[in-house]
Structure 1
Amino acid sequence: MGDAIRSYSLTGAAVASPDGYDIGVRHIEGGQVSTAIRHALAPGDVVELQSPKGGFVLPLRNEFPVVLIAGGIGITPFLSYLETLEGNAGQPRIALHYGCRDDRSRPFQNRLEALQQRLPNLTLVTHLSRLQSGDRFDRPGQFTVSDIDPELLRKRARFYMCASDAMMEEVNAGLEACGVPAFEIFGERFRSPAPPVLDA
């Protein structure tokens, strides 16, 4: 992998003393790092890691509902959060809106469905914009702010997004138009750190 730098999300449950860490990697044909991880990396190989750089912290306990909005591989930052939850009475009501093109471009769907079965406080809503025959989905078309349960808006839900810049800008504008304060909207963009600049 050389000096290439990439950002990947932790996807396992947060525990005090983990035996290891899970990450979510989307393989891109011809991609330098994802191809190396998939085909070349082996047990015992050494890779250099940096500390997490996430821009928001998701609440394990909160009096307000939580709405998660994910587009495609943008689901990965939310997996660790959902895996950590226990679904008990002290944890927030959570609505996850997950938008993808079709079933083939929907990573972690089986895992999400298992989490929905385990967590009574989680509602999973899947949006598919380019339906194929046999696809499983809850709502056709792209996610929009109008898909959010109005009760969640009335209860001052906190909104967390990880998606394309265009989708996040559209959703952010829609939420603010509905009266959601900007400080109750959080977004996470995938950004690989810039390589260090070395003096000549």
Structure 2
Amino acid sequence: MLSQETRDIVKSTAPVLAEHGTTITTEFYKTMFEAHPELLDIFNHANQSQGRQQAALANTVYAAAVHIDNLEAILPAVVQIAHKHVSLGIKPEHYPIVGEYLLKAIKTVLSDAATDDIINAWGEAYGVIADAFIGVEANMYEQTEEKENSWRFFKDFKVARKVKESEIITSFYLQPADGANVPEYQPGQYISVRLSIPGEEHTVIRQYSLSQASRPDEFRISVKREADNDPNGVVSVYLHKEVNEGDTVEVSAPAGEFVLDESKTTPVAFISGGVGITPMMSMFETVATTTPDRPTVFLHGARNEALAAFQDDIARQVANMSHVMYQTFYSDEPNGFITREVLERFIAKDSDVYVCGPVPFMEAMIRELHNIGLDEDQIHYEFFGPSVQLQLS
């Protein structure tokens, strides 16, 4: 437990963190990677180069300062981040390294303003927060390993099939290289794929939603190819161009808490934009095969028909359902957007709604769902990438 004095000091630094947080976290990552370049095998280099990871960490540190009297308030964020840590293979021994260089960065950026009392208080606070992450992640690792056919960290998988779903999305069907089955997973979860790409100094890891309902023998991920010159496109371009059937990739066990509540039979709606359709495919297929009478709506936004993936798959599932409405909206066409009027027409007031897509799309959808009368606990979403604050007002 932190002393009242420590908590008061940490809270008093919140305004400073709001002003200098990203500068501190930028200094932190720079000096940590200089001292421990092996950690670059874990972190997303594109997020680093674009400053997104620095901003995400700054938001997390600021939230910890604001809620230091009641750290349970940030527990949902801890759990969400812990899922990502587990899928990346983060270990307890990484936390002292992070703590050391975070405190050094605070001291460097704030200079004389970072008194010994402030550094010591943040050292104590970091220890408590790190212990929380370590405990949550240890429990997750244990639960993962207890599942039949599961494993810890990474395992070799072979690409059994490679299927083009649209002009920019390709599916990879992955099977364990040792011939074993895969663990059952919840619809909406994701896996991490780790690759050694020629010309890249460090291994790269990306997280991809599992895009079909749980099957005993395989995973399916569906990857959008980014532009060749996009820093975010290094892995997706390599997967599309260089990884073929029979090749081997390293895969983590499924993780994530943006999942379908399978216990419910009340109306459910899935709203996706672009490649945000991938976790929805797992959820939608699960509903279609386990509760086909459940009232279901699926609304998807794409730029045009050539970029809309899974249309045939969705049609096959729709044919087996008794109470379903599906519609794709093409933004290149007149009236091709999912508007408030569309939501009012399709979404029942007692629905649970799952939303995934680009951040502006998600912000608009969540805002309009609130505007048509849905409560916060009816709307389920997760931003895929470094944690950010969605602007919903």
TM-score, scaled to structure 2: 0.42
Q: Name stretches of at least 5 consecutive residues in structure 1 with no aligned partner.
A: 132-138, 194-200
For 1:5, the equivalent position in structure 2 comes to 205
Q: Structure 2: which amino acid aligns with 1:185? A: I
Shift of 1:178: 2.3
Q: Structure 1 residue 14 and structure 2 residue 208: aligned? A: no
For 2:149, the equivalent position in structure 1 comes to none
Percent identity over the alignment is 28
1:110–1:192 distance in 2 versus 1, CA, 3 Å: farther
Q: What is the rounded CA distance, in whole Å, between the counterparts of 1:43 and 1:105 in structure 2?
A: 23
1:150–1:86 distance in 2 versus 1, CA, 3 Å: closer
Aligned partners of 2:212 and 2:281 also within 8 Å: yes
- In the alignment, which of 366, 369, 377 is matched to residue 183 of structure 1? 377
Aligned partners of 2:267 and 2:348 also within 8 Å: no
Higher share in helix:
2
1:175–1:78 distance in 2 versus 1, CA, 3 Å: same
Shift of 1:99: 0.7
For 1:161, the equivalent position in structure 2 comes to 355
Find the structure with the greater CA-based Rg.
Answer: 2
Q: What is the rounded CA distance, in whole Å, between the counterparts of 2:373 and 2:285 in structure 1?
A: 31
Q: Structure 1 residue 25 and structure 2 residue 223: aligned? A: yes
Shift of 1:59: 2.8
Shift of 1:106: 0.9
For 1:140, the equivalent position in structure 2 comes to 335
1:150–1:143 distance in 2 versus 1, CA, 3 Å: closer
Secondary structure of 1:70's partner?
strand
Secondary structure of 2:380's partner?
strand
Q: Return 4-13 or 27-36, whichever deviates more.
A: 27-36
Q: Residues 148-188 of structure 1, C-alpha deviation per residue, up to 9 Å, x if partnerless? A: 2557433x101110011112112212222222111111112
For 1:48, the equivalent position in structure 2 comes to 250
Aligned partners of 1:159 and 1:186 also within 8 Å: yes
For 1:115, the equivalent position in structure 2 comes to 317
Q: What is the rounded CA distance, in whole Å, between the counterparts of 1:36 and 1:151 in structure 2?
A: 39
Larger RCO: 1 or 2 (CA < 8 Å, sep 6+): 1
Q: Structure 1 residue 128 and structure 2 residue 330: aligned? A: yes
Shift of 1:142: 0.9
Aligned partners of 1:127 and 1:141 also within 8 Å: yes
Q: Residues 103-142 of structure 1, C-alpha deviation per residue, up to 9 Å, x if partnerless? A: 11211122212221222233111111103xxxxxxx8321
Aligned length: 183
Aligned partners of 1:55 and 1:187 also within 8 Å: no
